[in-house]
Amino acid sequence: DTEVTQTPKHLVMGMTNKKSLKCEQHMGHRAMYWYKQKAKKPPELMFVYSYEKLSINESVPSRFSPECPNSSLLNLHLHALQPEDSALYLCASSQGDSQETQYFGPGTRLLVL
Amino acid sequence: LAKTTQPISMDSYEGQEVNITCSHNNIATNDYITWYQQFPSQGPRFIIQGYKTKVTNEVASLFIPADRKSSTLSLPRVSLSDTAVYYCLVGDPRGGNTPLVFGKGTRLSVIA
């Protein structure tokens, strides 16, 4: 299984809502990532988990809260988002740490109203 | 981190070979060059990775000159389905907490 899955595919939420994005991989990878991608822009790294511990937080606002319950799962909890947070949120995993080949999921398209 | 520079866009006709060049003047000794492909509304997909000279797989070839300050991704006989954004990334795959950074990418449009 060389797939990274993400749910939901699409999400619409209001600025007062709380929602979560989920990511799962069963490749035995020990590093997992969250990226944010705006239209016609490259992916921007948000968080890196290495061996289930948060290793990199790229100065992301606290309204985004990552969680890694185990080595196969990665969540991104969303609260009090702003309309400018609307984007494609991508999850990725890699065998080891940050520089290894990353496998990306299809993303969650988020719209904040 | 080595910064990369790529053309913003390229056009090609079907069946042609496409070469996309990436400049990385301050590449470090331990850095590798990696290319990803991204279709609209999908996550990036690994294409190829190399350190020096030439690497070839079933999808593409990667040419890296001796000074390693640039690299060229070569896509043989492109088809309409190769229309995508191609990203060049440079970094050391053996470790550290310095993540790879996606540059602006090259938007390839293949025309029938």
Query: Could you report the per-residue pLDDT of B28-81, keeping only the tens digit for each?
Result: 898 899 999 999 889 999 999 999 999 999 999 999 999 999 999 999 999 999
User: What integer is the mean pLDDT of A45-65?
Assistant: 90
**Both tokens assigned to B79:** 């088809």
Q: At B49, is the secondary structure helix, strand, or coil?
A: strand
Q: Contact A70/A51 with Cβ under 8 angstroms?
A: no
Residue B80: which region, alpha, beta or left (left: phi > 0; alpha: psi -120 to 50)? alpha
Q: What is the pLDDT of residue A1?
A: 60
Tell which of B1, B6, B41 to mutate to test the A interface (max A CBs under 10 Å): B41
Would you give the distance in Å from CA B50 to the centre of its chain? 10
- Supply the pLDDT for residue A99: 60
CB atoms closer than 10 angstroms to residue B62: 23
Nearest one of A69, A64, A94, A96 to A80, comparing CA atoms: A64
Closest CA–CA distance from residue B30 to any residue of chain A (Å): 11
What's the pLDDT at B1?
Answer: 57
Terminal C-alpha separation, chain B: 38
How many residues make up chain B in this entry?
112
Both tokens of residue B110?
């293949």
Contact of A85 with A92, CB cutoff 8 Å: no
- Of A78-82, A94-98, B20-24, least confident by mean pLDDT is A94-98
- Side-chain-side CA neighbours of B43 within 13 Å: the count stands at 24
Task: Tell whether omega for the bond before A8 is within 30 degrees of 0, i.e. cis.
Answer: yes
**Residue A2: closest CA among chain B residues belongs to which residue?**
B45
Average pLDDT, chain A: 92
Does A97 touch chain B if contact means CB atoms closer than 8 Å?
yes
